Amino acid sequence: MKKIIILIFIIVITFMGCIDLPNEFKAPIIPYEGITIPILDKSYTLWDAIKKDTTNITKTHGDKNYMTNKIKRKIIQIEEEKCNGCGLCIPSCPEQALQIVETKNGPKVRLVKELYCDGLGACLGNCPTGALEVIEKEAEQYDDAATIEHIKKVAPEMLDLHIKHMKEHGMHTEENSDKKDTLPCGCPGTLSSSWGKNSQKNNSECCTENNVTQNVMSQLTNWPIQLNLVNTSAPYLQNADIVIAADCTAFSYGNFHNEFIKGKILIIACPKLDDTEFYKNKLLQLFKTTNIKSATVVNMEVPCCFGIQNLVKEAIKNSSKKIPYCDITIGLKGNIVS
């Protein structure tokens, strides 16, 4: 009986050893039959400590402590039913927060740990099945120091990429002060760059031969244009050819109005910064309740922007309608890539 009590006591103390209590709750250490055991003041319990200062409660992992508190933030979500385990998303994640695991349904991509995912979505555009999306939920807070340790262990060659990725998003990292910008950003959509007029293909002539400036007529015929605000029952959507464009495309392509909007209804959205779950449902409602004649998607060439193609194609498929679809990709220098 005595040995059983000692065993139970050791198990309890072992659990207590994983908790960093406030100083006033730390116990004196006394020897007991050759075993060193901390004895807590009987007037306090673990629950008292938790109620008094939850910010000091930490979980031990190896030689490092991480806060167990979760916050509401953006983080990657993987729809396992859509994931085919191809792994194309893994190289595009500078934080190496994704891994392939074997499941009963075959290989699937999973988050290594929530605290390694920065929620910026660099991996989105490389998923051929649209299984990845950025959502907002309760999750472990992103920990850059822990992420750097993780990268050093599993893929040290990705460290410069990660540091550049953080700097381009205005996120501080302790190891970026002495690093040179030797590699492109992990998310090309945030890479800072500039070019002169001679490097651009002039897609729209806004001047005459005598160098007299002419006004370019707007081809916009509907409002609002932001997908969040569009009324799916608006009369102008019936029997319409629609263009669903990523926000940046109109600023990147000089002849956007004449080539893409003329004679069509415009809807704009951002697959990286906006609520893609809301967009998924909104697009499905749009295609189900209207007689759309055709859908054209215009997106930028950066990986995260291809998510808009996946959203539209999935919505058309789920609507059970045969709607003609095409997509156009705009380069960073204002040219049509494909």
Task: Kindly report the CATH number assigned to the domain that includes residue 173.
Answer: 3.30.70.20
Q: Which of 41-50, 105-114, 153-162, 193-202 tops mean pLDDT? A: 105-114
* Same domain (yes/no): 52, 75: no
In a domain, 130, yes or no: yes
Residue at a domain's end among 169, 187, 205: 187
* Same domain (yes/no): 118, 165: yes
Q: Which of 30-39, 57-66, 204-213, 245-254 tops mean pLDDT? A: 245-254
In a domain, 196, yes or no: no
Contact 305, 335 (CB under 8 A): no
Contact 266, 289 (CB under 8 A): no
Residue 200 has pLDDT above 80, yes or no: no
Report d(CA 174, CA 238) in Å as an integer: 54
Residue 22 has pLDDT above 70, yes or no: no
Tokens of 10: 């050791």
User: Which pairing describes strands 132-140 and 294-300: parallel, antiparallel, or unpaired?
Assistant: unpaired
Residue carrying structure tokens 């250490």 = 29
* Same domain (yes/no): 238, 182: no
User: pLDDT tens digit string along 56-77?
Assistant: 344 444 444 444 568 889 999 9
Q: Number of folded domains in the chain? A: 3
In a domain, 206, yes or no: no
Identify which of 84, 75, 129 has the alpha carbon closest to the alpha carbon of residue 103. 84
Residue at a domain's end among 11, 36, 59: 59
Residue carrying structure tokens 């859509």 = 82
Report d(CA 57, CA 76) in Å as an integer: 26
Report d(CA 201, CA 331) in Å as an integer: 11
In a domain, 205, yes or no: no
Q: What is the mean pLDDT of residues 181-202?
A: 44
* Same domain (yes/no): 16, 99: no
* Same domain (yes/no): 325, 224: yes
Residue carrying structure tokens 């991480």 = 66
Confidence of residue 277 (pLDDT cuts 50, 70, 90): confident
Residue 228 has pLDDT above 90, yes or no: no
Confidence of residue 287 (pLDDT cuts 50, 70, 90): very high
User: pLDDT tens digit string along 323-332?
Assistant: 999 999 999 9
User: pLDDT tens digit string along 111-138?
Assistant: 999 998 988 888 876 788 889 999 999 9
What is the domain range of residue 40? 2-59
Residue at a domain's end among 59, 86, 105: 59
* Same domain (yes/no): 324, 222: yes
Lowest mean per-residue pLDDT among 56-70, 218-232, 240-254: 56-70
User: pLDDT tens digit string along 73-92?
Assistant: 999 999 989 998 888 888 87
* Same domain (yes/no): 81, 149: yes
Residue 15 has pLDDT above 80, yes or no: no
* Same domain (yes/no): 234, 324: yes
User: Alpha helices of the chain — where are they, by DSSP H?
Assistant: 2-16, 46-52, 144-154, 159-168, 249-252, 256, 276-289, 307-318
In a domain, 192, yes or no: no
Give the up-direction half-sphere exposure of residue 74: CA atoms within 13 A in the CB hemisphere.
14
Residues sharing a CB contact under 8 Å with residue 82, sequence separation 6 or more, in sequence order: 129, 130, 131
Confidence of residue 259 (pLDDT cuts 50, 70, 90): very high
In this structure, what CATH number is given to the domain that contains residue 268? 3.40.50
